[in-house]
Amino acid sequence: MTRIASSTAVQIRQLSYFFGQGDLRKQVLYDIDLDLPRGQIVIMTGPSGSGKTTLLTLIGALRTVQQGSLQVLDQEIVGLSRAALVTVRRNIGFIFQAHNLFESLTASQNVEMAVELLDRWGDKRQKAVQMLSQLGLADRVDYKPSALSGGQKQRVAIARALVNQPALVLADEPTAALDKQSGREVVTLMQELAKSQGKTILMVTHDNRILDVADRIITLVDGRLETDESLAS
């Protein structure tokens, strides 16, 4: 089957990954084949140690691919130099379990750090404020993280990930540190933004309460793709 390249955000072929060297070498991913079409929200689940996060960091160009083929946003990243990987990462939004905000910077400044990557100086504040407002933080733009709740901090982190309009968003347990209500809010906001801007989201989560936002759920067990289930929306 031939694909139109631009309709796929991520294309993985026969991807394997190993940790360690020599005798300690241990395989964590086995022959993964996966396509993520643009605009899809995909949730990846699976037991601990099944390789979910490793797969996510590979797609995020944070690790070097050892075996197989991995195309992210129409670019083959196997064999790219470190510097080239950094360039690839600039088109990806990352959301982590911990918010990883600079305590010394205000919400707006934390988001502006992302805008500065594009060498845009004039309207960076405006863009940051706009993004934070979309996430319901209009009255919190000049607060430092210490004055924000857990859910608010995670929303700042999401604003930071999305402010540059990345085509691909990778999230690793974005709700794990949040209570039920804030978790729900955060995911709903992500869903709305993804739908309105046509982003692809790949989210690793154990949180059963949020599975309904997904278009598709894939399960990874012991480094192999176990199930791949599309949900009627």
Strand partners, 42: 202, 216
Q: How far, CA to CA in Å, does 109 sit from each of 49, 124, 128, 133, 193? A: 35, 9, 8, 14, 21
Considering beta carbons, is residue 60 or 223 the nearer one to other proteins?
Answer: 60
Structure tokens at 75: 């670019």
Give the C-alpha separation, 214 to 199, whole Å: 13
Q: Which CB atom, from 40 or from 106, has the smaller least distance to other proteins?
A: 106
For other proteins, the closer of residues 109 and 134 by Cβ is: 109
Shortest distance in whole angstroms from residue 98 CB to other proteins: 6
Q: Which is nearer to other proteins, 78 or 113 (CB)?
A: 113
Give every strand in the sheet of 200-204, ordered side by side: 92-95, 168-172, 200-204, 41-45, 216-221, 224-230
Residue among 121 and 230 whose Cβ is closer to other proteins: 121
Shortest CB 200 distance to other proteins, Å: 17
Would you say 103 or 181 has its CB closer to other proteins? 103
Shortest distance, CB of residue 113 to other proteins, whole angstroms? Answer: 6
CB of 57 to other proteins, least distance (A): 4
Residues interacting with other proteins, by CB under 8 A?
53, 56-57, 60, 62-63, 83, 86-87, 89-90, 94, 96-98, 100-105, 109, 112-114, 116-117, 121, 160, 172
Nearer to other proteins, 101 or 178 (CB): 101
Minimum distance from CB of 220 to other proteins (Å)?
Answer: 14
Q: How far is the CB of 215 from other proteins (least distance, A)?
A: 23
Q: CB 75 → other proteins: shortest distance, Å?
A: 14
